[in-house]
Amino acid sequence: MINKIDAHFHIDYCDFDVFKTLKYMDANKIERCWLLSWEEINPGRWHYVHLPVENIYDAFTEYSDRFIPLYAPDPDDINCLKKFEFWKEKGIRGCGELKVTLNWRSDKMVSILNYLEKNKLPLVFHMEEPEFRYIRYETAGIIDRVLLRMELSSGMDCLSNRIIDFIAKIMPNIKNRIRYWFPGYLMDISALEFVLEKYKKIIFIGHGPYIWKNISSDAMFTTDKYPATKIEKEGYLIEMLRKHDNLFLDISGTSGFNAINRDKNFSKIFLEEFNEKILYGTDNEMSARQELLDSLSLTDKAYKNIYRNNAMSIINY
């Protein structure tokens, strides 16, 4: 079995403390994990879990042979660049996970992108469409944690939102009082192309529902985050992968798993063609991702690249 690198993982997320993470790694022949932060200095009403760089650095300091630390400061922070530079000097190896409600073309993105290009550091980013959402049912926390765990284990994203959506259909007058506008993360796809062209020395590693749904041409015709239909025609994502040498993807989360699982015949062709641009990752989601990959009967070269070599080529230790 190939030793793997999980290129998308979070510490202290979904009950994965350092020791549970190490146990997961040992059980699944994960040689190293990239540990990613999540930082929004002024989060809105949408679901957000602050994943601080300090916890990542502590884990890395104690187990430097197992963890690779990354950090993505919120570009909305006026001290964004100073914070990133401070942590880079302490051993941070890249920027991730950048998951913020800004457009790629925002002036606030310029300083961090310039810095990453100058220092040839990779960027792991999350893209998600804007939409109306319903307020998550927040209590002392236990109900929300149970719902989140159900979402991650079942692939049913925003299960609590779906429950409230059902209630709103029965009681339509309550709808406008319990919903809010989510502006999306790092929209839009044309703006992503703009930065791919402008910052050619940055390795951009894409993740999230919006970038992965664009594997198929029907992305523009559906509001479903995780389309289940067969892929009849290649989407814009594939055009971008062929066009931009600096665009990579990781297959983590519900989005990555769904994109590979929705049409396995297509996925086999897709993963073979882009085997040098795809990274294995989980996002703490313990779905049958490895079993899915192994069932596709890819070439030995493709498996080695996806499971390990591509991550090693981006961040070599």
What is the per-residue pLDDT across 180-225, written as a single tens digit (0 to 9) for each?
789 999 998 999 999 999 999 999 999 999 999 999 999 988 888 9
Adjacent-strand bridge partners of 13: 16
DSSP 53-76: HHHHHHHHHH-TTTEEE-----TT
Confidence of residue 47 (pLDDT cuts 50, 70, 90): confident
Name the nearest CA neighbour of 133 among 225, 40, 227.
Answer: 225
Mind listing the domains of the chain with CATH numbers? 4-130+186-314 (3.20.20.140), 132-182 (no CATH)
By three-state DSSP, how is residue 313 classified?
helix
Beta-carbon neighbour count of residue 9 at 10 Å? 26
Rounded Cα–Cα distance for residues 42 and 50 (Å): 11
> Is it the case that residue 150 has pLDDT exceeding 80?
no
First to last CA, the chain: 21
Query: Are 251 and 305 spatial neighbours (Cβ–Cβ below 8 Å)?
Result: no
By three-state DSSP, how is residue 38 classified?
strand
Omega cis (within 30) before 26: no
Mean pLDDT, rounded, for 1-8: 92
Rounded Cα–Cα distance for residues 18 and 14 (Å): 12
Which uninterrupted H or E stretch holds 278? Answer: strand 278-279
Whole-prediction pTM? 0.89
What is the per-residue pLDDT across 263-284, written as a single tens digit (0 to 9) for each?
999 999 999 999 999 999 999 9
Number of H-type helices and E-type strands within the chain? 15, 10
DSSP 209-242: HHHHHTTBGGGGG---SS--S---SB-HHHHHHH
